[in-house]
């Protein structure tokens, strides 16, 4: 089943079949507010109807006609979505760190010297590590993970008693559920985050 391949699931596993059913129902039950061209607002569901056939392994998904422009033009609008990710971030450090880590996403891991990282995100004024962690790293991690197409974790590397390096683990969000959650977060912040062309 293509859906299983996309989500990295074993199509023959009964538990995964149940998971897919629950995921599709969850998407069917969720809606977002959309601003229409005339300025009025309406709620749209991600999926109008989903039909599964366990024997053939086929899933037929009917998309709401008004939602189609949001879902079927994703490939064309990739750069617009990247812009939406950054527009939704409130911290200047989140934006800079996202752009930096995005350039290394296919390496999956990247280590930076602490001073170099501070310079790259223009946060040299945070001389104490606890302040840098609280006001730059932690906020940036929360915004990047909640509002972008990548998931990031970091670990601190010490040399003796000194905070010396930071290693980032970068994961591209491939699962539909992760992407939909991100878009919903962006729409909640921007209000009109998902507009058709």
Domain residue spans of the chain: 2-72, 80-172
- Please state the rounded mean pLDDT for residues 152-180: 90
Q: Whole-angstrom Cα distance, residue 60 to residue 129? A: 52
CA-to-CA distance for 54 and 28, rounded, in angstroms? 19
The answer to whether 94 touches 137, Cβ cutoff 8 Å, is no
pLDDT at 98 over 70: yes
Give the pairing of strands 49-53 and 41-45.
Answer: unpaired
**Nearest-angstrom CA–CA distance, 52 and 50:** 7
Q: How far apart are CA 27 and CA 20, in angstroms?
A: 10
What count of other Cβ atoms lies within 10 Å of the Cβ of residue 99? 14
Residues near 185 by Cβ (< 8 Å), separated by ≥ 6? 88, 146, 147
Whole-number pLDDT of residue 174? 80
Asked if residue 23 lies in contact with residue 177, where contact means CB atoms within 8 angstroms, the answer is: yes
Mean pLDDT of 107-135: 94
Summarize pLDDT for 42-78 with one digit per residue, the tens.
777 767 888 888 777 778 888 777 766 655 544 444 4
- Rounded CA-CA distance 183/122 in Å is 28
Compute the average pLDDT of residues 100-129: 92
Top CATH class, 80-172: mainly alpha
- Has residue 106 got a pLDDT over 80? yes
**Cα 76 to Cα 80: distance, rounded to the nearest angstrom:** 9
| Joined tokens for residue 91 | 């911290």
For 22-36, 111-125, 157-171, which range has the lowest pLDDT when averaged over its residues? 22-36
For residues 23-34, average pLDDT? 69
């Amino acid at each position: 089943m293509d859906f299983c391949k996309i989500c990295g699931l074993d199509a023959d596993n009964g538990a995964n079949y149940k998971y897919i059913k629950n995921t599709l129902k969850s998407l069917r039950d969720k809606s977002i507010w959309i601003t229409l061209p005339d300025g009025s607002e309406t709620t749209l569901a991600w999926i109008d109807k989903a039909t599964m056939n366990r024997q053939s392994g086929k899933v037929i998904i009917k998309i709401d006609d008004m939602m189609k422009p949001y879902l079927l033009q994703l490939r064309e609008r990739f750069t617009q979505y990247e812009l939406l990710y950054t527009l939704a971030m409130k911290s200047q450090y989140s934006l800079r760190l996202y752009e930096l880590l995005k350039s290394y996403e296919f390496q999956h891991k990247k280590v930076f010297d602490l001073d170099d990282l501070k310079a790259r995100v223009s946060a040299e004024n945070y001389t104490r590590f606890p302040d840098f962690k609280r006001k730059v790293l932690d906020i940036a991690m929360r915004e990047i993970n909640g509002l972008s197409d990548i998931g990031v974790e970091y670990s601190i590397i010490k040399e003796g008693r000194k905070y010396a390096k930071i290693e980032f683990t970068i994961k591209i969000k491939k699962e539909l559920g992760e992407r939909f959650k991100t878009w919903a977060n962006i729409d909640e912040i921007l209000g009109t985050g998902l507009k058709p062309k």
